Chains A and B, each alone.
Chain A
Amino acid sequence: MPVAQLELVHEVAATAQPGMRVPARVYADDELWEQIGHDRSLAQLKNVATLPGVTGAVYGMPDMHEGYGFPVGGVAAMRLADGVISPGGVGYDINCGVRLLASVLGAARIQAKLHDLVHEISRSVPSGAGRGGRLALSEGELDRVLAEGCRYLVERDLALAEELEVIEAYGCLAGANPGAVSARAKARGHDQLGTIGSGNHFVEVQVVDEVCDAAVAQVLGLAAGQVTVLIHTGSRGLGHQVCTDYVRLMDEVMPGYGITLPDRQLACAPFGSLEGRQYFGAMCAAANFAWSNRQVITQRVRETFRRFFGADGALRTVYDVAHNMAKVEQHGGERLCVHRKGATRAFGPAHPETPEPYRAVGQPVFIPGSMGTASYVLVGTDEALDLSFGSCCHGAGRRMSRHAAKRTKPGHEVRRELEAQGIVVACPSSGELAEEAPFAYKDVERVVNVVHRAGLARKVARLRPLGVVKG
Chain B
Amino acid sequence: MKPSVELVEHPGEVRLRLRAGTLGELAMVAGRALAELELGQSPGPARGPWREVVVSGRDREAALVHWLNELIYLAETERWVGVEFTVSRATETELGMRVRGVVVDEAPARVKAATFHGLRIAAVPDGVEADVVLDV
Given A129-B108, A130-B75, A248-B66, A402:B115 Cβ within 8 A: no
Distance (whole angstroms) from the CB of B24 to the closest CB of chain A: 21
Q: With A128-B106, A237-B76, A243-B113 given, is the CB distance from A401 to B58 under 8 Å?
A: no
Q: Which residues of A contact B108 (CB under 8 A)?
A: 129-130
A131 neighbours in B (Cβ, 8 Å): 106-107
Chain A contacts for B66, CB-based, 8 A: 248
Q: A129-B76, A129-B112 are in contact. List 19 more A-B contacts (CB 8 A).
A: A65-B12, A67-B117, A129-B108, A129-B110, A129-B111, A130-B108, A187-B77, A188-B76, A240-B135, A248-B57, A252-B62, A263-B117, A265-B115, A265-B119, A398-B12, A399-B11, A401-B11, A402-B14, A402-B136
Q: Using A39-B11, A131-B107, A401-B11 as known contacts, say yes or no to A68 and B76 having CB atoms under 8 A apart.
A: no
* A-contacting residues, B61-120, CB 8 Å: 61-62, 65-66, 69, 73, 75-77, 79, 106-113, 115-119
Q: Are A264 and B119 in contact (CB under 8 A)?
A: yes
Distance (Å) between the CB of A362 and the closest chain B CB? 30
A431–B66 Cα gap in the complex (Å)?
28
Given contacts A72-B12, A130-B106, A240 and B116 within 8 Å (CB-CB): no
The yes or no answer to A449 lying at the interface (CB within 8 A) is no
Closest 6 pairs between A and B when the two form their complex, measured CB to CB: A130-B107, A68-B117, A130-B109, A264-B116, A265-B117, A129-B109
Whether A401 and B136, one on each chain, are in contact in the complex, defined by CB atoms closer than 8 angstroms, is: no
Chain B residues closer than 8 Å to A401, beta-carbon distance: 9-13
B26: interface (CB < 8 Å) = no
Contacting residue for B9 out of A130, A241, A243, A404, CB 8 A: A404
Q: Which residues of A contact B (CB under 8 A)?
A: 39, 65-69, 72, 88, 92-93, 128-132, 184, 187-188, 198-199, 237, 240-241, 243-244, 247-248, 251-252, 263-265, 267, 398-404, 431
Query: Are the C-beta atoms of A241 and B62 separated by less than 8 Å?
Result: no
Asked whether A237 lies within 8 Å of B109 as measured between CB atoms, the reply is yes
Whether a CB of chain A sits under 8 angstroms from the CB of B125 is no
CB distance B115 to A240 under 8 Å?
Answer: no
State A66–B136 Cα separation when bound (angstroms): 14
Whether A198 lies near B110 (C-beta < 8 A) is yes
Chain B residues whose C-beta falls within 8 Å of the C-beta of A241 in the assembled complex: 73
Query: Are B133 and A68 in contact, with the CB atoms below 8 A?
Result: yes
Please, what's the 1-or-0 string for B8-31, where 1 marks a CB less than 8 Å from any CB in chain A? 011111100000000000000000
CB distance from A255 to the nearest CB of B (A): 8
**A32 CB to closest chain B CB, in angstroms?**
14
Give the residue name and chain of the A residue nearest to B107 (CB). Answer: A130
Whether a CB of chain A sits under 8 angstroms from the CB of B40 is yes
**A398/B11 contact (C-beta < 8 A), A69-B117, A188-B73, A265-B115 known:** yes
Interface check B7, CB cutoff 8 A: yes
Q: In whole angstroms, what is the CA distance A184 to B70 when docked? A: 10
B79: A residues at CB distance < 8 A: 130
21 contacts between A and B (CB under 8 A): A65-B11, A68-B133, A72-B12, A92-B135, A129-B108, A130-B106, A130-B109, A131-B107, A184-B77, A188-B73, A198-B110, A199-B136, A237-B76, A241-B73, A244-B113, A247-B116, A248-B62, A265-B115, A265-B118, A403-B9, A403-B14
Q: Which B residues touch A237, using CB under 8 A?
A: 76, 109, 112
Instruction: Name the A residues within 8 Å of B112 (CB-CB).
Output: 92-93, 129, 237, 240
Complex CA gap A188/B9 in Å reads: 29
**Residues of chain A lying within 8 A (CB to CB) of residue B133:** 68
Residues of A within 8 A of B113 (CB): 92, 240, 243-244
Least CB distance, A108 to chain B, in whole angstroms: 37
Residues of B near A72 (CB, < 8 A) are 12
A264→B64 CA distance, assembly (Å): 14
Which residues of chain A have C-beta atoms less than 8 A from B10's C-beta? 66, 401
Chain B minimum-CB-distance residue to A126: B106
A170 to B16, CA, bound (A): 40
Closest B residue to A38 by CB, please name it: B11
CB neighbours (8 Å) of A130 from chain B are 75-76, 79, 106-110
Known interface pairs A130-B76, A184-B73, A188-B73; A402-B13 also in contact (CB < 8 Å):
yes
A38 CB → nearest B CB, Å: 8
Output the least CB separation between A315 and chain B (Å): 29
Q: How far is the CA of A184 from the CA of B66 in the complex (A)?
A: 14
B79 shortest CB reach to chain A, Å: 8
Contacts A247-B116, A248-B66 given; does A68 touch B13 at CB 8 Å: yes
CB-defined contacts of B111 to chain A, threshold 8 Å: 129
- CB closest chain-B residue, reference A253: B58
CA distance A248 to B79 in the complex (A): 24
